[in-house]
Amino acid sequence: MRYSRQEILIGKKAQQKLRNSTVSIVGLGALGSVSANLLARVGIGKLILIDRDLVEISNLQRQDLFTEEHLCKPKASVAKEILDKINSEVEIISYFDDLNYKNINLIKSGLILDCTDNLETRFLINEFCIKNKIPWIYSSAVKDSGYVFNILPNKVCLKCILKDSKAEETCEISGVLNTITNLIASIQVNEAIKILTNNNPEKDLIFVNINKNELTKIKVKKDKTCAACNKKFEYLNGKKQVNFVKYCGSNVYKINKDFNFNKTKQNLKKLGIKDFKTAFQFKDMTIFKNSVLIKANSEKEAKSLYSKYMGN
């Protein structure tokens, strides 16, 4: 009964295919929380979720899974709690973690949805999926428009059509409407269902502008010189990992350095931490096994906070 309305359209066999599928969602912001919600209701067998952020007040305008009572909690654990209530038939695994080349095996599954907000992670997913022959769906939204693109094994990849970009437009600077993020996530999930049920997924790059009510399908071609398609994996082997990142338009910095996670946790415990097991919060820092996110007003402040509490 639960799936009767969609079974009329997709059929019982396709429903069973969804039931037997595992889908990973990277990022639980505006796109990821909507996609996770839709996929749980659709009846995917298993969902793997990964996100590194805590719920903030500015998220509530568009991030469907979260409410005011979830502020300051990890999005990954809140999402699991809510999705378990929406559909207890779906197995939900969630990670409060920063996805990088060291832990990317966490998202190994039949299909990966990109709901991140940065190209570095997208290129990492791109290489991981080429290497493991996993289909994935790129999505992005900013202001009043967005993109969806299916990246299928041996077909056009993200690196074929997008080169490294330092000047990405971000929602923090340019803003974003909740209507476009919902629409883009809906298209992404609709394509996910097509991929999982072998039902003719879209080959073109989809562009939508909700202000003009325009949907454009853009033809894309494989780039023969594409490094990723030629299996030169610069992100997956860690070569492209930048050890100090400022997220454009926000006051968040990320530092990737080797340190002893357990020892650091023990030391900082005395000063008061919020323990989330796979990560912990200390002052304005979220400390993961391989990286630290720091809220600071300048690069100097971020670096000095790091060395003060984490060492050099």
Secondary structure of residue 124 in the 3-state scheme: helix
Cα separation, 60 vs 136, whole angstroms: 27
4 vs 165, which CB is nearer to Zn ion?
165
Question: Nearer to Zn ion by C-beta: 153 or 175?
Answer: 153
d(CA 139, CA 129): 15
Enter the tokens of residue 30. Answer: 């505006």
* Of 26 and 228, CB closest to Zn ion: 228
Tell the smallest beta-carbon distance from residue 224 to Zn ion (Å).
Answer: 9
Q: Interface with Zn ion by CB under 5 A: which residues?
A: 157, 159-160, 226, 228-229
Handedness of CA 137, 82, 177, 297 (dihedral sign): negative
Looking up tokens 């050099």, which residue turns up?
Answer: 312
The least distance separating Zn ion from the CB of residue 108, rounded to whole angstroms, comes to 20
Q: Which of 123, 219, 114 minimizes the C-alpha distance to 165?
A: 123
Q: Is the dihedral of CA 273, 274, 277, 279 positive or negative?
A: negative
CB-nearer residue toward Zn ion: 40 or 157? 157
Report the residue number, 172 or 223, with the smaller CB distance to Zn ion: 223
Q: Closest Cα to residue 248, out of 182, 169, 175?
A: 169
Task: For the CB of residue 115, give the shortest distance to Zn ion in the complex, in Å.
Answer: 21
Report, in Å, the least distance between residue 160 CB and Zn ion.
Answer: 4
CA angle, corner 7, sides to 14 and 92, nearest 5?
65
Count of beta carbons in the 10 Å neighbourhood of residue 122: 23
CB of 126 to Zn ion, least distance (A): 8
Is 232 or 283 the residue whose CB approaches Zn ion more closely? Answer: 232
Judge whether 284 and 305 are in contact, CB under 8 Å. yes
Q: How far is the CB of 145 from Zn ion (least distance, A)?
A: 24
User: Distance between CA 222 and CA 7 in Å, rounded?
Assistant: 35
Judged by beta carbon, residue 157 or residue 208, the one nearer Zn ion is 157
Q: Tell me the torsion sign for CA atoms 16, 17, 21, 26.
A: negative
Q: Which is nearer to Zn ion, 80 or 159 (CB)?
A: 159
Tell me the closest approach of the beta carbon of residue 27 to Zn ion, in angstroms.
22
Give the residue among 101, 82, 180 at the shortest CA–CA distance from 139: 180
CB of 231 to Zn ion, least distance (A): 10
* Listed residue (156, 159, 141, 163) closest to 205, CA to CA: 156
Smallest gap from Cβ 220 to Zn ion, in A, equals: 10
Q: Which is nearer to Zn ion, 37 or 139 (CB)?
A: 139
Contacts of 271 (CB under 8 A, 6+ apart): 282
| Pairing between β-strand 145-151 and β-strand 136-142 as defined by DSSP bridges | antiparallel
